[in-house]
Amino acid sequence: MSNEVNLLLENIRTGNRSQNSEALDKLLPIVYKELRKLAASFLNREHAVSLQTTELVHEAYFKLTNQRSVDWENRGQFFAIAAQAMRRILIDAARARRTLKHGVEKVSLDDMPLITTSMDHSLIDLDDALKELEKFDERQCRIVELRYFSGLTIEETAEVLDISPATVKREWAIAKAWLFQKINRS
C-alpha cells in the first residue's frame, strides 16, 4: 500500500535532518501539484461548489497516499506541507495575475484558482512579510500557514505541530501583530 508519498512522509518523520529536508523537497511539488489541481477544479466549477480548506487538503491526502483512513502520525506532516503548498498556490496565483496585468509576461492561468484580484497586492505583501518572519521564527511562519492558508483551527494546528493549543494561540497572536505592523509600516 505504500506509495511514494507515504514513503516520503515516513522518511520525514523518522529520518535525520538531511534525509528530512530531502524528502520535503521532493514532497512539496507533488502536494503542490495535486492541491493546485484540486483547488482549481473545485473553485472554478460553474455552480459555486464549495468546501472547507481542510477537506481540500484531506482529499489531496487521500489521493496522494492512496489510503482510506489516515495514518495519524503522518497526517500532521502532510498538513504542514500542504499548508506551505496552499500558500504557494494562492500567492502564485496572485503574483501571476499581477504580472499579467502589467503585461510583462504571459502566464497560463488555465488551472489557477479564479479568485478575486482585489486582494492580490496585500497577499503578496503578506507573503513577503512571512518570508522575513521565517528567518527568525520558523514555527510562527508554519502556524500562520496552517491557520490562514490551510484554514486549520487552533486545536488542529496544535495537533499538527505537536504543541499545546495555548502556545499556538499565543504565537499566533504575536505573529499576527508582527505581520500586521510589518505590512502597514512598509
Partner 1 sequence: MNTAEWLQIKDLVSQAIDLPDDQRVRFLASISDSTIRTEVKDLLASMSDSADFIETPLMVELGAVENEIVDRLIGTTIGNYSLLKRLGSGGMGAVYLAKRENADFTQFAALKIIKRGMDSEAIVQRFSNERRILSSLKHPNIAQLIDGGISADGLPFFVMEYVEGEPLNEFCRIHDLGLEERLDIFRKICSAVEHAHKNLVVHRDLKPSNIIVTEDSVPKLLDFGIAKVLANQETLATETGAFGKMLTPEYASPEQIAGKPVTTTSDVYSLGVILYELLTNQRPFDFRGRSYEDLIDTAKRTEPPRPSQTASRSGLTSEEGSRAFSVPKRLLQGDLDNIILKALRTDPSERYDSVRQFSEDISRYLTGKPVHARPQTARYRFEKYYMRHKIAVLSAAMVLISLITGISIATWQAIAASRERSIAERRFREVREMANSLMFDIHDSIKDLPGTTPARKLLVEKALAYLDQLSAESTDDDTLKIELANGYEKIADVQGGAMGSNLGDSSGALASYAKALAIREELAEKSGSGEQQYAAAILHSKSFQVLMLLNDFEKAEIHSSLSIEILAKLTAAQPGNSVYRITAARFYLERGDLLASLATGDANLALENYRQSIIAAESVPENGELDQKAADGLTLREKILSVEQMAYRRIGQNAIVRKQPEEAFANYEKALEKSRQLAAQNDPPKPQHQIVLAISLGNLARAQADDGDLEKAIANAANMLEICEKVANDDPKNYLAVSQLSLAHESLGSVYFKLRNFPRALENLGEARRIQEAIKQDHPEDIYNIGNLGETYAFIGVIHEELAKSRTRRTENLATAAGWHRQSLDIWLELERNGTLPAYYGGKIEEQRKALARCRI
CB burial string 78-90: b at 16+ within 10 A, e below: bbbbbbbbbbbbb
Given a contact cutoff of 8 angstroms between Cβ atoms, the answer to whether 112 and 93 are in contact is yes
| Identified binder of partner 1 from the candidate list 16, 18, 69, 108, rule CB under 8 A | 69
Residues 127-166 that bind partner 1 (CB under 8 A): 136-137, 144, 147-151, 153-156, 158-159, 164-166
| Identified binder of partner 1 from the candidate list 17, 68, 102, 106, rule CB under 8 A | 68
The minimum distance between CB 175 and partner 1, in angstroms, equals 9
Stretch that binds partner 1, among 11-19, 28-36, 64-72, 103-111 (CB under 8 A): 64-72
| Identified binder of partner 1 from the candidate list 25, 51, 66, 131, rule CB under 8 A | 51
Given a contact cutoff of 8 angstroms between Cβ atoms, the answer to whether 82 and 17 are in contact is no
Number of residues in contact with partner 1 under rule CB under 8 A: 54
103 class by beta-carbon count within 10 Å (0-12 exposed, 13-18 middle, 19+ buried): exposed
The minimum distance between CB 26 and partner 1, in angstroms, equals 23
Q: Does 56 bind partner 1 (CB under 8 A)?
A: yes
119: left (phi > 0), else alpha (psi -120 to 50), else beta? alpha
Stretch that binds partner 1, among 11-19, 26-34, 50-58, 99-107 (CB under 8 A): 50-58
Counting every residue written for the chain, the total comes to: 186
The minimum distance between CB 145 and partner 1, in angstroms, equals 10
Enumerate residues 6+ apart whose C-beta is below 8 A from 74: 6, 9, 10, 13, 65
Q: Does 11 bind partner 1 (CB under 8 A)?
A: no
Choose among 129, 59, 51, 42: nearest CA to 87. Answer: 129
Rounded Cα distance between 52 and 58, Å, is 10
Q: Which residues of this protein are in contact with partner 1, per CB under 8 A? A: 42-43, 48-53, 55-56, 58, 61-62, 68-70, 72, 75, 86, 90, 113, 115-116, 119, 123, 126, 136-137, 144, 147-151, 153-156, 158-159, 164-166, 169-171, 173-174, 176-181
